[in-house]
């Protein structure tokens, strides 16, 4: 199908997704982009920002047991919310380009810090959405992000999970209900093997990523890295 959004975005002068300033190329304007900084360092268990470098776990995570071996978070949700929403709600090509640019920038920074280890990682996968939602929305933003991540890390992207139940949107639920809302809602397809990077756009309580990681581990994966582009803390 012809992508009319892409044609329109190319044909007309565009505006910066963040400040609305007119720009001649799509994406975010340079002054907005310069202000967006990746999370400098974070807890490798919950992905929340830390002031003292990358650590295996933070004070809140000492006793936390997760199915993910590590959590990587690239940006604070508040800093990139316009881009996330633009990708999610409008499937904007500009938002996709901006996302590509931001993920690349964050990975480059991590490469210099040598904290993200890809040993044993076979492929990249993503949090699926239920087929009904996919039918209405026509795309899954986590899949779009997984494709960007796979390209940048030179790893194949494979669909490994399906969502078997249509659940309520996690953002509409209070913290205590988010775990039960996603419990046993994923099913593994394509036998997962070795290490897998599991991608989602936003993580708040980690319930979704952890439930999906549980499903992949039980189906045979031996290492799961949960990667969220935007880490939000529940407020």
CB of 89 to Zn ion, least distance (A): 19
Nearer of residues 83 and 157 to Zn ion, judged by Cβ: 83
Q: Which residues pair with 226 in a beta bridge?
A: 71, 198
Nearer of residues 43 and 188 to Zn ion, judged by Cβ: 43
Nearer of residues 59 and 156 to Zn ion, judged by Cβ: 59
Q: Does 102 bind Zn ion (CB under 5 A)?
A: no
Q: Does 16 bind Zn ion (CB under 5 A)?
A: yes
Say what angle helices 77-90 and 93-113 make with each other, to 10 degrees.
Answer: 140
From 18-26, 69-77, 102-110, 144-152, span contacting Zn ion (CB under 5 A): 18-26
228: helix, strand or coil? strand
Which residues neighbour 49 within 8 Å (Cβ) at sequence distance 6 or greater? 39, 40, 41, 42, 73, 76, 231
CB of 125 to Zn ion, least distance (A): 23
From its phi and psi, is residue 75 left (phi > 0), alpha (psi between -120 and 50) or beta? beta
| DSSP code of residue 42 | B
Nearer of residues 29 and 188 to Zn ion, judged by Cβ: 29
Nearer of residues 21 and 165 to Zn ion, judged by Cβ: 21
CB of 46 to Zn ion, least distance (A): 3
Nearer of residues 21 and 37 to Zn ion, judged by Cβ: 21
CB of 74 to Zn ion, least distance (A): 16
Number of residues that bind Zn ion (CB under 5 A): 11
Using only C-alpha atoms, what is the Rg of the chain?
Answer: 18
Nearer of residues 26 and 186 to Zn ion, judged by Cβ: 26
Q: Does 98 bind Zn ion (CB under 5 A)?
A: no
From 12-20, 91-99, 169-177, 197-205, span contacting Zn ion (CB under 5 A): 12-20
Q: Does 19 bind Zn ion (CB under 5 A)?
A: yes
C-alpha to C-alpha distances, 116 to 41, 42, 45, nearest whole angstrom: 11, 11, 13
Among residues 185, 167, 234, the alpha carbon closest in space to that of 206 is found at: 234
Cα–Cα distance measured from residue 155 to residue 150, given in angstroms and rounded to the nearest whole number: 5
Tokens 């756009």, located at residue: 201
Q: Contacts with Zn ion in 27-86 (CB under 5 A)?
A: 29, 32, 43, 45-46, 58, 61
Q: Which residues pair with 73 in a beta bridge?
A: 228
Q: Which residues contact Zn ion (rule: CB under 5 A)?
A: 16, 18-19, 21, 29, 32, 43, 45-46, 58, 61
């Amino acid at each position: 199908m012809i992508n009319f959004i892409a044609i329109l975005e190319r044909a007309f002068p565009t505006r910066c997704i963040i400040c609305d300033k007119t720009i001649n190329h799509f994406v975010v304007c340079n002054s907005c982009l310069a202000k967006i900084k990746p999370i400098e360092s974070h807890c490798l268990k919950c992905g929340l920002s830390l002031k003292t470098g990358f650590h295996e776990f933070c004070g809140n995570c000492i006793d936390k047991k997760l199915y993910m071996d590590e959590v990587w978070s690239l940006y604070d949700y508040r800093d990139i919310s316009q881009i996330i929403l633009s990708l999610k709600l409008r499937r904007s090509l500009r938002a996709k380009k901006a996302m590509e640019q931001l993920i690349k920038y964050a990975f480059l920074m991590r490469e210099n810090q040598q904290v993200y280890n890809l040993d044993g990682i076979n492929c990249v996968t993503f949090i699926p959405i239920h087929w009904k939602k996919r039918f209405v929305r026509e795309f899954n933003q986590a899949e779009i992000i997984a494709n960007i991540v796979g390209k940048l890390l030179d790893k194949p992207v494979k669909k490994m999970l399906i969502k078997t139940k249509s659940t309520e949107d996690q953002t509409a639920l209070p913290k205590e209900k988010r775990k039960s809302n996603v419990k046993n809602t994923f099913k593994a397809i394509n036998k997962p093997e070795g290490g897998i990077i599991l991608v989602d756009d936003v993580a708040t309580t980690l319930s979704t990523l952890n439930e999906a990681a549980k499903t992949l581990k039980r189906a045979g994966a031996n290492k799961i890295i949960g990667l969220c582009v935007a880490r939000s803390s529940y407020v």
